[in-house]
Amino acid sequence: MFNSNFIIMSGFGAPYIARIIIRDEILMPNEIVHFKSIDYKGNVYLDIPLNMESIENIKSDFRNYQNIFEAKSNKENLSKETNVLFDILAKLDVKSFLLESFTDFNPNYWIEDLILIIVEKEMIITEETENAVSENGYLDIDFYGYTDYKILYNNFEGATNRYFREGNTIT
């Protein structure tokens, strides 16, 4: 039987994950699906699943700007995905975050199509910024300080279902 909570089709039918990772705990509005995660060093992160097919458009948009303020001031020229991201961030009032997307075929295989975007104190960190990004993206994660590699859900729908199963409500 097909389990729609497990698979979101992306190209080849593999689970696709897009998310915002925020260091530390912040006051989260109920209407935003999110999970608290603690890494092996004891650092607290918030994992916010994104309901979008790709963050490639966000990456393309961010290449044109040095900081979030510049990008926000040009909203009419940004992609739908970037504007959705800005709507979410406006509710959170965060200055630093990591955007991550990838395809996860199963726990026994490497993730594929990894895209990482870092915003640190509203500055968009690019590949040219002090070697923040390696070919495989791992320095990106190290630069941000994110050391939790757990995958908590397989897609946005699965994340939403888990959020409700854990007793959360959206008001």
Q: What angle do CA 70, 30, 28 make, to 5 degrees?
A: 50
Higher-pLDDT residue of 105 and 43 is: 43
Instruction: Encode pLDDT of 35-82 as tens digits.
Output: 988 877 787 888 999 998 778 899 999 999 999 999 999 999 999 999
Phi, psi of 51 (to 5 degrees): -95, 75
Q: Is a pLDDT exceeding 60 seen at residue 145?
A: no
Q: Where are the domains of the chain?
A: 16-165
- pLDDT tens digit sequence for 74-88: 999 999 999 999 999
Burial of 97 (0-12, 13-18, 19+ CB in 10 A): buried
Query: What is the band of 122 on the pLDDT scale with cuts at 50, 70, 90?
Result: very high
